[in-house]
Amino acid sequence: MLDRYFIKAGCLMIVTSLLCIPIVHAQIKDAGLWTSLAFEAKLVKKLSATVSQEYRFNENVTELGTWISEAGLEYKLNKYVKASVNYRFTMKRQTNNQYSPRHRLFIDVKAEKKIKPVIFQFRTRFQEEYADIGRAPDGGFAGYYSRNKFNFKFDLDRKWEPYLSVELFSPLRQNQPFVFDDIRYSAGFEYALSKHHKLDLFYMIQKEMNVNDPVTDFIGGIGYQFKL
């Protein structure tokens, strides 16, 4: 029964994401590069800690648009489900070339089921973010988002595992309808260098929706993870 649930949820997410592709006339396009380093360590049984650093380049990979420092704790609830709490500090470049500081708290719930050779993974996230506290008239007010991501990974009994994913972003605002304002499509593969070291290479298309002059980003990425 759980197998059917994952398959149906995956199909629903794909159909929903395709229906959400906006039909617009004016678009802004950009190319980017995302790089990241991550470290994960098991603290006690079922509980692990993670820290990571990420740098995101935009404007056709000519400037550092965002840098991110993140830390979190993840707990394994059962064979299929994990939950985590995380904090992220971000510096995001603005049009005046100044960087805007942002503080984000978020909770993830992840579910995974393997029906070989496919590994179905679903992650739902609730996040709260504060930007420009004490620096702008609207600084210090929280912004809330719901994010849902479905990932299909393929276990080929090799050191590398290809994957496909789609993620939908929904702002949560009082007295406003539930809409999607961003979507990400990704394809890539994870390569196990050894038991503790792993590389992640991917290509992503990120599209804004339900806004004037939406931005579409074409992003290449590379990440390195060390896991104890």
pLDDT band at 178 (very low <50, low <70, confident <90, very high): confident
Cβ(4)–Cβ(156) under 8 Å? Answer: no
- The sign of the torsion formed by the CA atoms of 170, 173, 179, 182 equals negative
**CA–CA dist 93, 82 (Å, integer):** 33
**CA–CA dist 206, 222 (Å, integer):** 16
Mean pLDDT value of segment 168-175: 89
Residue among 224, 214, 193, 217 at smallest CA distance from 203: 217
pLDDT at residue 174, rounded to an integer: 77
213 pLDDT more than 90 = no
Mean pLDDT value of segment 109-117: 95
Give pTM, 2 decimals.
0.86
Q: What is the pLDDT of residues 64-106, one digit of tens each?
A: 999 999 999 999 999 999 999 999 999 999 989 999 999 999 9
pLDDT at residue 137, rounded to an integer: 65
Distances (CA, A) of 40 to 27, 28, 52, 110, 144: 39, 37, 9, 16, 27
Q: What is the pLDDT of residues 8-60, one digit of tens each?
A: 554 545 444 444 544 444 578 999 999 999 999 999 999 999 999 999 999 99
Cβ(193)–Cβ(201) under 8 Å? Answer: no
Comparison of pLDDT for 173 and 186, the residue scoring more: 186
Average pLDDT of the chain, as a whole number: 89
pLDDT at residue 139, rounded to an integer: 60
**CA–CA dist 184, 189 (Å, integer):** 16
Mean pLDDT is lowest, of 101-105, 155-159, 189-193, 220-224, for 155-159
Q: What is the pLDDT of residues 126-169, one digit of tens each?
A: 999 999 876 766 666 789 999 999 999 999 988 999 999 999 99
| Residue 148 in tokens | 């849902």
Mean pLDDT value of segment 220-227: 98
**How many residues would you count in the chain?**
228
Q: Which domains does the chain show, CATH number per domain?
A: 2-227 (2.40.160.40)
- Contacts (Cβ under 8 Å, ≥6 apart) of 210: 22, 179, 180, 181
